[in-house]
Amino acid sequence: MSDPTSKEEIILEGIPASPGVAHGTALVYLQKQLDIPSFDLEESAVDQEIERLDHAILETRSEITSVRNKVAESLGEGEAAIFDAHLMVLEDNALISEVIAEVRSSKKNVEHCYNNVAQRYISFFSSMEDEYLKERVSDIRDVTRRLLHNLIGMTKVDLGHIPHDSIVISEDITPSDTADMDRNKLLGFATDVGGKTSHSVIMARSLGIPAVVGLRDATQRIKSGDQILLDGYEGVIVINPSEERLYRYGKLANERRKLDAIYQTAISQPSETKDGAPIQLMANIEGTQDMEHALAMNADGVGLFRTEGIFLRHHGYPPEAVQYEEYAAVAKAAGKNPVIIRTLDVGGDKTIGDETVKEDNSFMGFRAIRFCLENITIFKTQLRAILRASAHGNVKLMYPMISGLPELHRANEVLESVKAELREEGQAFDEAIEVGAMVEVPSAAVIVDLLAAETDFLSIGTNDLIQYLMAVDRLNDRVAHLYDPAHPAVLRTLQAIIDGGRKANIPVSVCGEIAGDPIFAALLVGMGADSLSLTANSLPEVKYLIRLMDSQDAKVLVKKALQSNSSIEILELLENFRLDALGELVH
């Protein structure tokens, strides 16, 4: 019998982004423009409205003070000064008196009045010549947003400090938000916008945090405090899930756990097909914190070290010493296994400081190697740190977003100049360090022979390659259904790149998200990829599957897939191959 006090279930459908199921309490995290309510007050409600303002000011004060103290502790008093300025704005008597006067005279709610007064201050300060006063505008904006969030009852969450068992619901989540997340407290997240291969989602996957994106209006329909069930496999959110649904999900989770335990048995086994064809399975990491997991999964080294994580966690450009320590620690932890460190891929959805302002077409803009070649000091600092770390292990260097030979030549010139500096200083580094390029821009794929002739290895970044090949922005949920890794054009391009590497006798790896997707494992093996680099979480399942397949069968599969003109048919071929390989396990 259903419980008469239980609330009605509401189901929202989005895009499955990071697998797993989470059940917890919603925390609605708003970053963008607030909808500020406006309504008339009864005469008798005016005093109560002013009391609401007092409470919100107190609440905001304690929030700002706690952020201030945290920043002072980690970055020093100088960095914390900005929050002292925020407290001054918050407690500015003139501003508060004006708001109270406006509530009394207009008999409108306090959010409406506060916003009106704040906007007047913002226009006034913006028109000033004085730079110092102009800068106060952003303080007023920040404080107003915090205070309005508190008045409206929505929390301006610091993702590093959230209550236990939270599921964050947000319009969008940036990679720097994700970098601040406390993985012990955050059960999952869901966003109104976004695609499967946004960097926040990639980070969530590697942290093992279930996520659903592209829900369109989740932030409007979910309130902080709601009970939520998030299904990252199917891309569904259930508000107020019934007991029956929770029971069903509990059973599914049990089955999933049993399967996972079976996949884990592959970890200690060699990474090869049933007939003994080897394929390296390497880890995608964001920093030293991911190494323990990568080693526990027996990864054959690091195939992609996305160094942006260090920059995002640092909220800026970390000095050489900070970078060196991190790269060297990873190199040491990997022992003899290779560690491919990718130079800074900032821009796109990863913005750091003022140098990387968000652009209209940010993925086609000032990003990655383009940014580094115009910010030589930042680039050189990183190259120095990577080279010095190469003295401690099997480090290789890789450039992202190479679109043609001139970029490769220019990057190598900078690299040579940094090597010369280090030699002169007597600093140790690996003179024979291998240098590779990511193939993720279609022009690079077309000239793969030219690139292969001048590099030591290639790594295919399918996340970008697919978005550029198909003109489907990887962040845009409205066109997410067109982002199709099984498109015949994608398959042909992948095969051409792998063949190009093979002809030049250099290894080719795949490091985009499809490398960790079991459906694509046989395809990539059959095409002849030398290694797959994937999040450590996906490694056991992919390895288990590879060990069950025959490399000749995988080649036949590729032949059939390349002859097909339909991605639906290709996906069917791939899925059937996977199911056949797994046999009884899934039947």
| Catalytic center residues | 199, 511
Nearer to ligand PEP, 136 or 306 (CB): 306
- Binding residue for ligand PEP, selected from 63, 177, 326, 440, defined by CB under 6 A: 440
What is d(CA 576, CA 243) in angstroms, rounded to the nearest whole number?
35
> 434, 457 in Cβ contact below 8 A?
yes
Which residues between 482 and 511 bind ligand PEP (CB under 6 A)? 511
- Binding residue for ligand PEP, selected from 300, 345, 407, 553, defined by CB under 6 A: 345
- Binding residue for Mg ion, selected from 20, 24, 393, 461, defined by CB under 5 A: 461
Of these partners, Mg ion, ligand PEP, none, which one is at the site of residue 508 (CB under 5 to 8 Å by kind)?
Answer: none
Of these partners, ligand PEP, Mg ion, none, which one is at the site of residue 511 (CB under 5 to 8 Å by kind)?
Answer: ligand PEP
DSSP string, 289-334: GGHHHHHHTT-SSEEEEETHHHHHHHTS---HHHHHHHHHHHHHHH
Q: Does 64 bind ligand PEP (CB under 6 A)?
A: no
Residue 162 burial class via C-beta count within 10 angstroms: exposed 0-12, middle 13-18, buried 19 and up:
buried
Nearer to Mg ion, 145 or 342 (CB): 342
Which residues between 387 and 446 bind Mg ion (CB under 5 A)? 440
Q: Which of 24, 16, 100, 17 is nearest to 57 (CA)?
A: 100
> 245, 229 in Cβ contact below 8 A?
yes
Q: Which of 186, 234, 230 is nearest to 208 (CA)?
A: 186
Nearer to Mg ion, 266 or 411 (CB): 411
Residue span 441-470 as binding mask against ligand PEP, x where in contact by CB under 6 A, dash where not: --------------------xxxx------
Q: Cβ 285 to ligand PEP, closest distance in Å? A: 12
Nearer to ligand PEP, 229 or 511 (CB): 511
| Sequence-ordered list of residues with C-beta below 8 angstroms from that of 260, at least 6 positions apart, any chain | 540, 541
Which residues between 183 and 212 bind ligand PEP (CB under 6 A)? 202
Q: Cβ 149 to ligand PEP, closest distance in Å? A: 32
Residue span 403-422 as binding mask against ligand PEP, x where in contact by CB under 6 A, dash where not: --------------------
Q: How many CB atoms lie within 10 A of CB 38?
A: 12
Of these partners, Mg ion, ligand PEP, none, which one is at the site of residue 512 (CB under 5 to 8 Å by kind)?
Answer: ligand PEP
Nearer to ligand PEP, 229 or 304 (CB): 304
Q: Does 512 bind ligand PEP (CB under 6 A)?
A: yes
Nearer to ligand PEP, 52 or 370 (CB): 370
Say whether 55 sits in a helix, a strand or coil. helix
Intra-chain end-to-end CA distance of the chain, in Å: 34
Q: Which of 481, 16, 536, 389 is nearest to 236 (CA)?
A: 16
Q: Does 436 bind ligand PEP (CB under 6 A)?
A: no
> 210, 249 in Cβ contact below 8 A?
no
Q: Does 192 bind Mg ion (CB under 5 A)?
A: no
Q: Does 175 bind Mg ion (CB under 5 A)?
A: no
Ranges of H-type helices in 208-314: 218-221, 243-264, 291-296, 308-314
Q: Does 464 bind Mg ion (CB under 5 A)?
A: yes
Q: Contacts by 286-294 with C-beta closer than 8 Å and gap 24+?
A: 286/203, 286/206, 286/310, 287/313, 287/326, 287/330, 288/326, 288/329, 288/330, 288/333, 290/206, 290/536, 291/329, 291/330, 291/333, 291/334, 293/536, 293/537, 294/536
Nearer to Mg ion, 349 or 550 (CB): 349
| Residues that contact ligand PEP, how many (by CB under 6 A) | 11
Q: Cβ 202 to ligand PEP, closest distance in Å? A: 6
List of residues contacting Mg ion (CB under 5 A)? 440, 461, 464
List of residues contacting ligand PEP (CB under 6 A)? 202, 304, 306, 345, 440, 461-464, 511-512
